[in-house]
Amino acid sequence: MSLINDALKDLDARQVGETAQPQVTAEKNTVFKGNYTPLLFAFLLFAAAAVFYLGTLNRGDGSADSGQDSLVHDNNSHQQTEPLPTAHGEKTPVAILAEAAKENVDNPKGQAVSLNGATGMSDQPSDLSSPVDMQQTNKQSELEYWLQQAELAFSRNRLTLPEKQSAWYFYQKILEQDADVTAARQGVEKIQLRYEQLLNSAVAENNIERLSHLLSRVDRVQLQLGNVDTYRNQLLSLKQAADRALAREAPADESRNLGVAALKPSVNIAKTLPTQDRELASQQTRAYNAGQQIAAREKLEGFVSVHPNAVQSLLALFDIHLRENANAKAASLQAKTFRGSVLHDYLGARLLVVQQKFQAAQSILASHPYSELQSLFHAGQMEQNLFERYNGLLAALYQQHKQHLLAAERYQMLVGVDVKNTQYWMGYAISSDSLGHKKNALRAYEQVLKIGDTSEQMVTYASARLQVLSKELQQTIAGASVSQ
């Protein structure tokens, strides 16, 4: 309250001072009595003549000696002046001129001082940049911006996708302007090295789909990989092996012609790592929920240690650590993921949620635009489970912070991905309800009750809101009919 009172006192003091000034002026004017109109007219006539005379003098050659409109400093006249007047914090023309005169203290030759502070017709180079210099400065700023965007995209594992938001795209824009930018050339080399690592990983996992996608990206952006033909041959070998395995599964025609019972060959088809990963994560999650906590945890830990790219098993193990309040172990798992990747940031957001740092968690998740997530998902670089988890958590955080429009958009997308997920429908219903989108909320609550598979509390809430919204919509329709 004291700050408010002080501010009010200052305001009152200013108002008193402003109202008092005209009274002083009026009192001074009362000193001059009588009719001085002729004298005033003569004074004005003399002033006009003086201005005309000075104007003719100023039509000289423009040199420092003849420029009488400039401010010349007398070294012998050092006087202290009162504070310069300002208007709303900006210097008035009077203040600018006074400062220009003050600058002449360091100008012993008495050269003219212009309003921008430059001295006379000096031969010293001006501070103003030439058009060529300005163009070079703008170009340098643009290159620095692209370099920052490229490094940011690389840190988030956006190597060549999305098309115009990837590290490759920004590095190429830099090299198109200047092929000698070392940082850009090194960035391209980092992308090539990273792609070789991804290709080697796909080969080791016998992941035909992943290997095929990576090679298509290499061709699309024309990455210069020295051993790209080796990867093509390995892809061809994997496809041929898969075709042979399928052929061995079918009964032989010769066996049927000879009347011999066709025996199904015992072929051991090795499962790809993604298949093993999904199956193990599902099995051990069920085992953990059934009471086999230690065995399930140990199997997941062993599998993840051998296959660090097993995303589903890593997520399952991460969930177990959080359920057991082993946050340090969960953080250790996150540290093993690629920094800046979608997986890394999702795990980081989960840890922040545990610490109830909801705004920080939302900021991390929102740093990856939906276009990036969508591109990774459709390209097979992001599995559906992680895609749903990521967007589901972000939607829930939006909803908690009352950003219902953003939440409703995410939930609407998610119910399109998994139409039988009650949690997605419930989230969409709550945010639509909060926005006043009654028809959307009504339909979503109906889906919650239809699908079920949720808590009794949610069922009760959905039922209650469904009844209220139905009545409100009926009243709206009835009112519209009456008005017509």
Q: How far is CA 438 from the centre of its chain?
A: 32
State yes or no: pLDDT of 355 exceeds 60: yes
Tell me the average pLDDT across 117-146.
Answer: 57
CATH number at residue 430: 1.20.58
In a domain? residue 216: yes
Q: With bands split at pLDDT 50, 70 and 90, how would you rate the model's confidence at 43?
A: low
In a domain? residue 168: yes
In a domain? residue 102: yes
Percentage of the chain with pLDDT > 70?
A: 65
Distance separating alpha carbons of residues 151 and 16, to the nearest angstrom: 60
State residue 164's pLDDT score.
84
Residue 106 shares a structural domain with residue 157? no
In a domain? residue 275: no
State residue 42's pLDDT score.
56
Digit-coded pLDDT (tens) for 222-236 = 888 888 888 888 888
State residue 439's pLDDT score.
93
In a domain? residue 432: yes
The residue out of 231, 250, 269 marking a domain boundary is 250
State yes or no: pLDDT of 383 exceeds 80: yes
Distance separating alpha carbons of residues 181 and 309, to the nearest angstrom: 34
Residue 65 shares a structural domain with residue 142? no
Cα torsion angle, 179, 182, 187, 189, sign: positive
Q: What pTM value is reported for the model?
A: 0.55
Tell me the average pLDDT across 383-393.
Answer: 94
Closest CA to 161 of 329, 323, 315, 373: 373
Digit-coded pLDDT (tens) for 60-89 = 443 333 333 333 333 333 333 333 333 333
In a domain? residue 475: yes
Closest CA to 366 of 352, 379, 355, 356: 352
In a domain? residue 415: no
Which CA distances in Å does 233 have to 45, 208, 227?
101, 12, 10
Tell me the average pLDDT across 393-413.
Answer: 96
Which CA distances in Å does 264 have to 88, 149, 252, 268?
92, 57, 9, 12
Residue 171 shares a structural domain with residue 111? no
Higher pLDDT among residues 47 and 253, named by residue: 47
The residue out of 250, 280, 309 marking a domain boundary is 250
State residue 469's pLDDT score.
93
Q: How far is CA 245 from the centre of its chain?
A: 47
Domain count, the chain: 3
Residue 230 shares a structural domain with residue 155? yes
Q: What is the mean pLDDT of the chain?
A: 74
Higher pLDDT among residues 198 and 46, named by residue: 198
What separation, in Å, do the N-terminal and C-terminal C-alpha atoms of the chain show? Answer: 57
Question: Hey, which residues does 90 pair with through a beta bridge?
Answer: 87
In a domain? residue 407: no
Digit-coded pLDDT (tens) for 227-284 = 888 888 888 888 887 777 766 655 544 444 444 444 444 444 557 788 889 999 999 9
State yes or no: pLDDT of 48 exceeds 90: no
Which CA distances in Å does 298 have to 191, 288, 304, 337, 351?
36, 11, 10, 20, 22
Residue 238 shares a structural domain with residue 146? yes
Residue 84 shares a structural domain with residue 190? no
Residue 75 shares a structural domain with residue 148? no
State yes or no: pLDDT of 123 exceeds 80: no
The residue out of 220, 250, 280 marking a domain boundary is 250
Between CA 407 and CA 410, with CA 408 as vertex, the angle to 5 degrees is: 65
Residue 192 shares a structural domain with residue 246? yes
State residue 136's pLDDT score.
64
Q: Which residues contact 163 (CB under 8 A, 6 or more apart)?
A: 169
Range of the domain at 79: 58-121
Of 115-129, 208-222, 275-289, 328-342, the range with the lowest mean pLDDT is 115-129
